[in-house]
C-alpha cells in the first residue's frame, strides 16, 4: 500500500524529483526508498 500511495501522490500533485546519482539507482528490496526519482 505504501508504494501505491507514493505513485498516486506523485501523479496527483505533479511532483518532480531529482536523482543524486546517475539516474540508475538500484530499486530492490534494500534500496527501494533511497531515490524517489529512480522509483518512478
DSSP 1-40: -HHHHHHHHHHHTT-----SSSS----STTTTTT-HHHH-
Cβ neighbours of residue 30 under 8 Å, at least 6 residues apart? Answer: none
Structure confidence by residue, pLDDT tens digits, 6-37? 888 888 888 888 998 898 899 888 887 888 89
- How far is 13 from 27, CA to CA, in rounded Å? 23
| Residue whose C-alpha cell reads 528490496 in the numeric block | 29
Would you state the pLDDT for residue 22? 92
Q: Are 17 and 36 spatial neighbours (Cβ–Cβ below 8 Å)?
A: yes
Q: Write down all domains in the chain, each with its CATH number in brackets.
A: 2-39 (3.30.50.10)
Would you state the pLDDT for residue 40? 80
Would you state the pLDDT for residue 7? 81
Amino acid at each position: 500500500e505504501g508504494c501505491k500511495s507514493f505513485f498516486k501522490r506523485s501523479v496527483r500533485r505533479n511532483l518532480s524529483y531529482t536523482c543524486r546519482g546517475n539516474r540508475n539507482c538500484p530499486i530492490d528490496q534494500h534500496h527501494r526508498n533511497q531515490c524517489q526519482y529512480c522509483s518512478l
